[in-house]
Structure 1
Amino acid sequence: MSAISTKARMHFMIFTESFDATVMCRFLARIVGHFDRKVHLIVDRHSAHRSKTVRSWLADHQDKIEPHFLPSYSPELNPDGLVNADLKRSLPHTHQARSRTELAAETRRFFHHRQRQPHVITGYFKAPHVRYILDE
């Protein structure tokens, strides 16, 4: 999972278990640990994002992070979806993973590579169907 910013920052976490509220809370904790100011995180309406566990975690950390939910069925508003598409397009060309461990390692390499490419990260926000206005 990943989070990107209009300032060309990318944070990610690789996990091999199913995505659920526990995984989401781990990711949220990592995100807030990187900043000394309040984080405004735009998320879709995945059930894990809206779960009681996550809502409770957010309530306990409301001074550090505030979620903003996208409208239902609005992938065009989510530039992080382009990160996922980029990952899915890139991985088959670079490696054929034979195990979950290999897939996790290749995914980690992809994200580390993208973190060193700020022009690509800001490009996710400039896609024709993504409706964000950047301060440039």
Structure 2
Amino acid sequence: MDMRKLSLNFTLFKGRFATEQLLEFLERLLRQHQEKIVLILDGHPVHRSKAVGDWGTAHADRLELHFLPPRTPRTSTRTSRSTPT
């Protein structure tokens, strides 16, 4: 991966985040970037929706979707603080 081609893309919207907003964002990403896109998503229900999965499969030649693992108390740095005795 050419580190000189990394970019941060985002969108702002009013109201509740829904599948339609994410699909519009993904479409815009494909229009703006000609190279293959690697996108890292968290576990938000919209990110894991069937519609997004189907869209990702249909565009797998241009887009790789990767999902962060779910947070658990064992891996969370916030809950693993040691308590002074």
Q: CA deviation at 1:7?
A: 5.1
Q: What is aligned with 2:29?
A: 31
The TM-score normalised by the length of structure 2 is: 0.70
Tell me the distance in 2 between the aligned counterparts of 1:58 and 1:17.
Answer: 24
Give me the whole-angstrom Cα distance separating, in 1, the residues matched to 2:53 and 2:45: 11
1:67 aligns with 2:65: yes
**Structure 1 partner of 2:51:** 53
TM-score by length of 1: 0.46
Q: How many residues align?
A: 70
Greater share of residues in helix: 1
8 Å CA contact 1:32, 1:64 repeated in 2: yes
Deviation at 1:11, TM superposition (A): 1.7
Which runs of 4 or more aligned residues in structure 1 lie more than 6 Å from their structure 2 counterparts after TM superposition?
none
Q: Measured at CA, do residues 65 and 13 of structure 1 come closer, stay the same or move farther in structure 2, by a change above 3 Å?
A: same
Task: Summarize the alignment of residues 1-136 of structure 1 with structure 2, pairs less than 5 Å apart.
Answer: 9-73=7-71
8 A Cα contact 1:22 1:53, kept in partner: no
Instruction: Give RMSD over aligned pairs.
Output: 2.1
Sequence identity percentage: 36
Q: State how far apart, in whole Å, the 1-side matches of 2:4 and 2:41 are.
A: 15
- Secondary structure, aligned partner of 1:10: coil
| Greater mean deviation of Cα atoms: 64-73 or 14-23 | 14-23
The unaligned stretches of length 5 or more in structure 1 are 75-136
Amino acid at match of 1:34: Q
SS of the residue aligned with 2:66? strand
- The one-letter code sitting in structure 2 at the alignment partner of 1:66 is E
Asked if the contact 1:44–1:69 (Cα under 8 Å) also holds between the matched residues in 2, the reply is yes
User: For residues 1-21 of structure 1, what are the alpha-carbon distances to aligned partners after superposition, in whole Å with 9 as ceiling and x for unaligned?
Assistant: xxxx88563222121131011
Unaligned runs of 5+ in 2: 73-85
Of structures 1 and 2, the larger Rg is shown by: 2
1:79 match: none
